Chain A
Amino acid sequence: QSVLTQPPSASGTPGQRVTISCSGSSSNIGSNYVYWYQQLPGTAPKLLIYRNNQRPSGVPDRFSGSKSGTSASLAISGLRSEDEADYYCAAWDDSLSGLWVFGGGTKLTVL
């Protein structure tokens, strides 16, 4: 059971806009930044969004992140076939001596 909660799957057709949610608590999302990672099949995860809504250089502006209270979401607009991947949210959790926590991951299928 992951500390952050994501839907296990999402889907959309090319060109559509899809969103993936990530729900946490006051000790993680509620008090720290949210990060999003994309994992293409057979590859290492890649940072997609940092500090809630910032994109690293090279990440298309089709990807955007937002946060409100203890929840966050990743939006992908103009969906493309190459966006088919697993997406994970993560945040620092202040409980105990501190630790990173992940969502369980969302498998995005482009129909």
Chain B
Amino acid sequence: EVQLVQSGAEVKKPGESLRISCKGSGYSFTSYWISWVRQMPGKGLEWMGRIDPSDSYTNYSPSFQGHVTISADKSISTAYLQWSSLKASDTAMYYCARSNGMDVWGQGTTVTVSS
């Protein structure tokens, strides 16, 4: 079964760093890009960026460029989304999706940033 399994919920303080993960299984991880999508509370879906796990080439939405870092470790079929300094406005659900038309989605990781 093709699936993406994300890391668990996080509660952080403003200014802290964070890395969440997305592990692929059931398919060749390096054959498909992985996208990250944000959903703020009660709001719609926003595409953040994507990575090609075969060579770690990335492209970001202008709205998120410079605010997050997307990376991958193909040896363990895992993609990451990372913040160096969280803000309260980063509070949201974050999904990874296989970027083949986003045909497979992770279950989501809730990130709460609060002092």
Contact = CB atoms under 8 A, between A and B. Distances in A.
A56 interface: yes
Interface stretch (A15-23, A60-68, A69-77, A98-106): A98-106
Given A44-B95, A105-B45, A100 B62 contact: no
Interface string A83-101: 0001010100000111111
Contacts, number: 58
Contacts of B99: 100
Given A2-B44, A99-B47, A47 B62 contact: no
A35 B97 CA distance: 13
Interface of A: 2, 33, 35, 37, 39, 44-47, 50-51, 56, 86, 88, 90, 96-105
